Amino acid sequence: MMKIVITANDNQGLNGQLAQHFGHCPFFAVAEIDANHQVISVTVEPNPYAENHQPGQIPQFVKTLGADVVLAGGMGGRAIEFFQQLGIEVASAAHPKVGDALNAYLAGQLSGVVECNHDHGHHC
């Protein structure tokens, strides 16, 4: 059993919109996956730190959700480091929908993460 947490702009689960920015996403879709890569259940958790957060707060929160993997449009370097320390895999997804991002990950199409570089005005 594996839990994959995906950044979401709404509470529509797999039909929802993927949030492009990890730190400010309003919701997290939490998908439970069985050994055959089938989705068992999907729940949606509000991000308690969407408006205001300290470094490390959201990775710790995601850990409490039982995450093995986090899928996000993009993520800052600090958050990536926190997840690495927590032993949680991070992957970038450029898909418009939560379910599409999850399916791409399960199909082995996603690996690695795109780091947000705010110095150059690039917001992911």
User: Is 123's pLDDT higher than 50?
Assistant: no
| 90 Cβ neighbours under 8 A, 6+ residues apart | 69, 70, 72, 75, 80, 83, 84, 113
pLDDT band at 54 (very low <50, low <70, confident <90, very high): confident
Strand pairing of 2-8 and 27-33?
antiparallel
- Asked if 95 and 101 touch (Cβ cutoff 8 Å), the reply is yes
* pLDDT number for residue 115: 67
The model's pTM is 0.89
Residue 18: what pLDDT?
96
Phi-psi region of 121 (alpha: psi -120 to 50; beta: other; left: phi over 0): left
Centroid of chain to Cα 20: 9
Residue 120 has pLDDT above 60, yes or no: no
Domains defined along the chain, listed by start: 2-117 (3.30.420.130)
Percentage of residues in the chain having pLDDT higher than 90 = 70
pLDDT attached to residue 21:
83
